[in-house]
Amino acid sequence: MRKVLLLSVFSMALSACGASGGDNPVFLQTGGSGGGSGGGNSAPDVALPNSDQSAPVGHDFAYDATQGGQTFTDAQGDNMSFAVTFAPDNGDFTVAAGMITGRSSAPIDVAVTITANDGTQSSAADEFVIASDYDQDAIVAAFGGSIDLAALADYETITVPDFIRAPNDVASPVTNAGATLGRVLFYDTALSIDDTVSCSSCHQQASAFSDTQVVSNGVAGGVTGRHSMRLINTQWSDEAAFFWDERAVDLEDQVTDPIRDHNEHGFSGQDGRPNFDDLIVKLEAIDYYDELFAFTFGTPDITEERMQSALAQFVNSIVSFDSRFDEGRAQQPDIFQPFPNFTFDENEGKNIYMSGPADNGAGCRRCHADPEFSVFQDSGHIGVIGVAGDPSGTDFTNTRSPSLRDLFAPDGTANGPFMHDGSLATMRAVIDHYDAIPVPTTEPTRTEFMNSIDPQLVEFGTVERLNLTDIEKDQVEAFLRTLTGQTVYSDVKWSSPF
Ligand code: HEC
Ligand code: HEC
């Protein structure tokens, strides 16, 4: 494929033809070396032709096309200057003094021409090819057809209904490459100390990325302190912090926390266990991570920051906006009109959900505002103060909820027991709880409870009572069931690639 062109130049006139070339002059082949501009000067020679180079997509590329000054020689010893052109020139590479740097963005061959000019308008050119392809042998070996760097799953195109209003200025915007890497990390048991646990152990697609167990099993018999949370529409939330008690300031901060957790992935560095640095060393030895990190970030280096970005991108890509609620809401100017696709009970349930207790409603909207159904930013606890696995324990710190979307799977089964301690097994139990929030009777628990409960639930010093009828409770539940989507349970881009 390599062509060597020996060029020299008709002076002057040709500069005019070179109008298209910018700072890359256009030279005309004269078929010999005798056409120089006189004075016995001869054009440079191609002494050491460049061989073709390869620049795997996504990897940083640097190559000196002068080969340290050996590509060209000049019989008169004239100082040479170099011009380099690319065909096609897709902006992937730039040049300074013959040094080509950049990063290939697509698997195409770029023809490179380097021209040496000896300052007397005499020149010679050498041509070679930078061939680009995907570096994914290990990815193909590990994942078969489920990941192809040349045809990534589409995570970037997220169709958001017009009526969605909550902010979503996430720190790690979803890219196809980042979310693909995040998917592998999310499902990889190599991220646990004994290769038994991955994020998906406790966040299962079939359960809207939650767990049907009250608490989840981690490494070596460890269990979680709280119930797992659904990971749905995390980009659209009135509450930016993560975990039931909001202890993670953002999603990036959150996603490597379970890896460091002694009971979850186990890289805690405690009791003789490996720590996060050990995990990085472990992942560095896995070939598909070499390829995936290089493809995603330009170099194969594995850092916690990169893992956080990729995992956050994958989690943020999990989007559910295809529920019957969304269908109905799209047909009305606001949420208060009856939805044509709803049953009578579903529309009644919607009204009860939206209205405050003073209007005989349940006031759910005060904290889980539509249409995201996330949670109000400054809420206190809601009277669920138990500790999973510790009947006498109390915990007043839980002020975040996952979005109330996808509380149920499409087949109608509940996506796990509800609340931070998994103490409410059914939706009726949840609604009964809000209807008559139990207040502890013993001190100091009672005072602590009253001091930390969300003030919206307290009226004139006592905790509100909703007094919903059985029918109204059924109607609220019927409405909540309309918030279940479809594709989030079935789209393979969110499933295990292994
Ligand atoms: C052993 C079970 C387990 C594993 C493994 C696990 N999680 Fe979780 N996850 C939980 C539990 C339990 C919570 C709630 C913990 C709390 O609030 O204290 C949670 C909470 C979260 C949240 C917060 C959601 C919200 O809306 O606030 C995110 C995000 C999350 N996990 C992502 C991940 C990722 C990413 C991984 C893998 C790196 C992972 N989890 C691994 C059990 C697990
Ligand atoms: C004062 C704010 C507030 C109000 C009002 C409120 N919630 Fe909640 N909701 C929360 C908080 C905070 C949590 C998490 C509590 C916990 O786990 O301890 C939560 C949790 C839930 C959960 C469990 C979510 C899960 O993933 O396990 C459901 C279901 C729920 N609320 C439904 C409702 C309904 C229905 C209403 C109206 C009857 C309502 N909420 C009213 C703040 C509120």
Reported as a single tens digit per residue, the pLDDT across 286-334 is: 999 999 999 999 889 999 999 999 999 999 999 999 999 999 999 999 9
Q: Which ligand is nearest to the CA of 202?
A: 1
Residue 380 CA to residue 377 CA, distance in Å, equals: 9
- Paired tokens of 150: 């040349």
For ligand 2, is residue 307 a contact (CB within 6 Å)?
Answer: no
The residues, any chain, with a CB within 8 Å of residue 21's CB and separated by 6 or more, are 85
The model's pLDDT over 56-82, given as tens digits with 9 standing for 90+, comes to 887 889 999 999 999 999 988 888 999
Q: Which of 157, 89, 112 minimizes the C-alpha distance to 3?
A: 112
The rounded Å distance from CA 432 to ligand 2 centre is 12
The rounded Å distance from CA 204 to ligand 2 centre is 22
The type of residue at 129 is V
For ligand 2, is residue 398 a contact (CB within 6 Å)?
Answer: yes
For ligand 2, is residue 453 a contact (CB within 6 Å)?
Answer: no
Residue 58 CA to residue 126 CA, distance in Å, equals: 26
> What torsion, rounded to 10 degrees, do the Cα atoms 203, 205, 209, 213 define?
-60
- Paired tokens of 408: 């149920």
Closest Cα to atom 35 of ligand 1: 255
Q: How high is the pLDDT of residue 33?
A: 41
Q: How far, rounded to the nearest angstrom, does the alpha carbon of residue 408 sit from its chain's CA centroid?
A: 25
Q: How high is the pLDDT of residue 39?
A: 56
The ligand 2 atom at the shortest distance from the C-alpha of residue 395 is 18
Q: Which of 57, 178, 75, 182 minimizes the C-alpha distance to 118?
A: 75
- Paired tokens of 308: 């956080």
Ranges of the chain whose pLDDT falls below 70: 1-39, 167
Q: Which ligand is nearest to the CA of 208?
A: 2
For ligand 2, is residue 363 a contact (CB within 6 Å)?
Answer: yes
Judged on CB neighbours under 10 Å (0-12, 13-18, 19+), 35 is middle
For ligand 2, is residue 124 a contact (CB within 6 Å)?
Answer: no
